[in-house]
Amino acid sequence: MIKKLFDAALSIHEPWYVKDLDFDEEKKQLNIHIDFKRGSKFYYKDDTSGQEGYYSVYDTAEKRWRHLNFFEHECYLCCRTPRIKLPDGKVRLISPPWSGVNSGFTLYSKP
Protein backbone atom coordinates (compact mmCIF):
# COMPACT_ATOMS: atom_id res chain seq x y z
CA MET A 1 0.00 0.00 0.00
CA ILE A 2 2.76 2.47 0.91
CA LYS A 3 4.62 1.69 -2.33
CA LYS A 4 1.49 2.60 -4.32
CA LEU A 5 1.33 5.86 -2.40
CA PHE A 6 4.90 6.67 -3.49
CA ASP A 7 4.07 5.61 -7.08
CA ALA A 8 1.30 8.20 -7.08
CA ALA A 9 3.32 10.88 -5.26
CA LEU A 10 6.20 10.54 -7.76
CA SER A 11 3.87 10.16 -10.80
CA ILE A 12 5.45 6.82 -11.68
CA HIS A 13 3.48 4.77 -14.21
CA GLU A 14 3.88 1.36 -15.85
CA PRO A 15 6.23 -0.16 -16.61
CA TRP A 16 7.93 1.66 -13.70
CA TYR A 17 7.05 0.95 -10.08
CA VAL A 18 8.39 1.49 -6.55
CA LYS A 19 10.07 -1.79 -5.68
CA ASP A 20 11.30 -1.01 -2.18
CA LEU A 21 11.69 1.71 0.42
CA ASP A 22 14.77 1.89 2.61
CA PHE A 23 14.62 4.30 5.55
CA ASP A 24 17.69 4.92 7.69
CA GLU A 25 16.59 6.94 10.72
CA GLU A 26 20.14 7.37 12.00
CA LYS A 27 21.37 8.84 8.68
CA LYS A 28 18.07 10.70 8.19
CA GLN A 29 17.84 9.26 4.70
CA LEU A 30 15.11 7.68 2.58
CA ASN A 31 16.02 5.61 -0.48
CA ILE A 32 13.19 4.86 -2.90
CA HIS A 33 14.11 1.91 -5.15
CA ILE A 34 12.41 2.03 -8.55
CA ASP A 35 12.33 -0.76 -11.09
CA PHE A 36 10.46 -1.72 -14.25
CA LYS A 37 8.41 -4.78 -15.09
CA ARG A 38 10.25 -7.72 -16.59
CA GLY A 39 9.74 -8.00 -20.36
CA SER A 40 9.04 -4.28 -20.79
CA LYS A 41 9.92 -2.55 -24.05
CA PHE A 42 10.99 1.07 -24.19
CA TYR A 43 10.55 3.67 -26.91
CA TYR A 44 13.71 5.27 -28.25
CA LYS A 45 14.32 7.69 -31.12
CA ASP A 46 17.84 8.35 -32.37
CA ASP A 47 17.79 11.84 -33.87
CA THR A 48 21.05 11.38 -35.77
CA SER A 49 20.22 8.10 -37.54
CA GLY A 50 16.44 8.39 -37.53
CA GLN A 51 16.06 4.95 -35.96
CA GLU A 52 13.06 4.75 -33.66
CA GLY A 53 10.83 2.16 -32.11
CA TYR A 54 10.21 0.02 -29.06
CA TYR A 55 13.17 -2.03 -27.92
CA SER A 56 13.68 -4.83 -25.40
CA VAL A 57 16.07 -4.31 -22.53
CA TYR A 58 19.68 -5.26 -23.29
CA ASP A 59 21.02 -4.71 -19.77
CA THR A 60 20.69 -2.19 -16.94
CA ALA A 61 22.70 0.47 -15.15
CA GLU A 62 22.13 1.54 -11.55
CA LYS A 63 21.43 5.28 -11.29
CA ARG A 64 20.62 7.48 -8.33
CA TRP A 65 18.85 10.86 -8.22
CA ARG A 66 18.63 13.32 -5.34
CA HIS A 67 15.01 14.20 -4.66
CA LEU A 68 13.55 16.91 -2.47
CA ASN A 69 13.74 16.13 1.23
CA PHE A 70 11.07 13.91 2.72
CA PHE A 71 10.29 16.12 5.70
CA GLU A 72 13.77 16.60 7.23
CA HIS A 73 15.23 13.45 5.64
CA GLU A 74 17.38 13.34 2.51
CA CYS A 75 15.59 11.44 -0.23
CA TYR A 76 17.11 9.54 -3.15
CA LEU A 77 15.56 7.70 -6.09
CA CYS A 78 17.60 4.58 -6.87
CA CYS A 79 16.73 3.01 -10.21
CA ARG A 80 17.69 -0.02 -12.24
CA THR A 81 17.77 1.94 -15.49
CA PRO A 82 17.33 0.01 -18.76
CA ARG A 83 19.70 0.09 -21.70
CA ILE A 84 18.61 -1.00 -25.17
CA LYS A 85 20.57 -2.22 -28.18
CA LEU A 86 19.73 -0.61 -31.53
CA PRO A 87 19.76 -2.61 -34.79
CA ASP A 88 23.12 -1.02 -35.68
CA GLY A 89 24.60 -2.47 -32.45
CA LYS A 90 24.77 0.79 -30.49
CA VAL A 91 23.66 0.60 -26.85
CA ARG A 92 21.60 3.48 -25.43
CA LEU A 93 20.44 4.32 -21.91
CA ILE A 94 16.71 4.93 -21.49
CA SER A 95 16.00 7.98 -19.35
CA PRO A 96 13.30 7.44 -16.72
CA PRO A 97 10.40 9.92 -16.88
CA TRP A 98 11.61 11.86 -13.83
CA SER A 99 15.10 12.53 -15.24
CA GLY A 100 14.04 15.02 -17.92
CA VAL A 101 14.87 18.68 -18.16
CA ASN A 102 13.45 20.77 -15.30
CA SER A 103 12.18 17.67 -13.51
CA GLY A 104 13.39 18.87 -10.10
CA PHE A 105 15.69 15.85 -9.67
CA THR A 106 19.48 15.84 -9.72
CA LEU A 107 21.44 12.82 -10.93
CA TYR A 108 23.71 11.85 -8.08
CA SER A 109 26.99 10.03 -8.56
CA LYS A 110 29.37 9.10 -5.80
CA PRO A 111 32.69 11.01 -5.85
Residue 111 has pLDDT above 50, yes or no: no
* Nearest partner of 18 among 5, 28, 30, judged by Cα: 5
Task: State the pTM of this model.
Answer: 0.80
Percentage, residues of the chain above pLDDT 90:
51
Q: How many domains does the chain have?
A: 1
User: Could you tell me where the DSSP H helices lie in 1-109?
Assistant: 2-9
Q: Domain span at residue 75? A: 2-108
Summarised one tens digit per residue, pLDDT across range 3-18 is 888 888 888 889 999 9
What's the confidence (pLDDT) of residue 104?
52
